[in-house]
Structure formats: C-alpha cells, structure tokens
Amino acid sequence: QSETVGSRNAWEKAADTYKAWRRLPAFRYADWAAFACAAPYSTIWVAVEMGGVPLHEFEHPERAVYVLGSEDAGLPPSVVRACHLCVSLEGLRAASYNVAVAGSILMYDRHRKLGGAKDVAVLEGGERVDAAPG
C-alpha cells in the first residue's frame, strides 16, 4: 500500500506508465497529524533519513511503516523524532537517493534479511553464493 502526506505530489501526475495508483491501496493525508491518527495499530514507524542505523546493520521489524521524505529536503526533524527507529542508506556518489530507488533498496534489504530471498544468488569476491543461506 502507498501513503502520502501533504499535497505536494499527486499520483495522477507522476511518471507512472503503469498507473499503479489505480491498482494498489493508496491513502493521502492532509498532514502528519492526520497520518499519525490513522496509522496502523502496533506497527513500528521507521524513518529513512541520514544519521540513522546504517542499512547493513539494521534489523527490520516484523511489522513496519517506512517513512521516506522528499528527495530534496528529506524528513522534517519532528517526523524523525516521532518514528520509533531510523535507518540510513549509504550513498557512494550522493547523500540521498530518488524516493523510488530508496524504497526499492529498503524493500530488497527487508525481503533478503527476513528470509524471502533464499533463491537469490549474489557475487561475493567473484564467486556465486546464496544471498540468504538456509
């Protein structure tokens, strides 16, 4: 599911050739307070922002809402403080990623660490190894 806060971006105007916003549950909130009131019960909020636990060290909660900020400004400090955890994505060439790329990296890492990628192989030192042994 997808959730947005504020009116800055509209799904209908996004460069989404598949129009995914028509096919998945999508919620739009006027502001952070409205989101906070409607957030799923007993779910950990995870801010994705610089200064958090590096992704390679991060342990994903079983139930989580990942909160990503805008590409140009990130998350406001008040939103980061409202979250239970904070994770950061290491960047090689830039301090931040496009929101879609950041979300993809995060979800791949979550899938891999929580045991969903047993059949995925990666190259490690030039040799093929299982990404998630077991």
Per-residue model confidence as pLDDT tens digits over 72-111: 788 899 999 999 999 999 877 666 788 888 989 999 999 9
CA distances from 64 to 39, 42, 114, 124 (A): 11, 9, 12, 30
Threshold 0.85, pTM exceeds: no
Q: What is the mean pLDDT of residues 33-48?
A: 87
The predicted model gives 59-73 an average pLDDT of 88
d(CA 13, CA 15): 7
What is residue 1's predicted lDDT score, i.e. its pLDDT? Answer: 46
